[in-house]
Structure 1
Amino acid sequence: MTRIGVEGTLSDVRSALQEKGYDIVELKQEQDAQGCDCCVISGQDQNVMGMATASIDGPVINASGMNAEQICQEVENRVK
């Protein structure tokens, strides 16, 4: 089953992805992303300090400006 990490503030996205059969991991800490095939972040605190470290090898989707359905489509496009 495909594991998707979803930032805690994106509860609508988490629900939509669960309905589509994805295994969802709530991203509370950086290490929560390990083992995920893809992560969805809100973008609110993205790279605040001007530094960025990658916790996963897979895609990270910035949900800023997208609705839950658009994010689900983006996840499906990137994990296949």
Structure 2
Amino acid sequence: MAKIGVEKSLTDISSALRERGHEVVDLQKDTDAKDCSCCVISGMDSNIMGMQDTYTTASVVAAHGLSAEEVCQKVEDKLH
């Protein structure tokens, strides 16, 4: 299955993705997303300074307000 980067605080989502057979890595620093097919972020942080650096071309799913099941479905939709 796919390699998915997940913010460290989203443990329920990490567990749900592992149960579905995905390889999950913690996103602790920007370069952790380098080889991921998709990344899941909390969506709670905002880009206050308006700066952007691109470390991956992977799809990104914001988990804010979604259940673990909904996030898993969004991730799998982006992988297909």
Shared fold per TM-score greater than 0.5: yes
Could you say what the CA RMSD is over the residues aligned between the two structures, in angstroms?
1.0
TM-score after normalising by structure 2 = 0.93
2:10 aligned partner: 10
C-alpha change, 1:67 and 1:58, in structure 2 (3 Å) is: same
The CA deviation at 1:53 is 2.0
Note the 1:43-62 alignment, pairs <5 A.
43-62=43-62
The CA deviation at 1:52 is 2.0
For structure 2, the residue ranges without an aligned partner over 5 or more in a row are none
Number of residue pairs matched by the alignment: 80
CA distance in structure 2 between the partners assigned to 1:46 and 1:30 by the alignment: 15
Letter in 2 for 1:2: A
Q: Percent identity?
A: 46
SS of 1:60's equivalent in the other structure is strand
For structure 1, the residue ranges without an aligned partner over 5 or more in a row are none
TM-score after normalising by structure 1 = 0.93
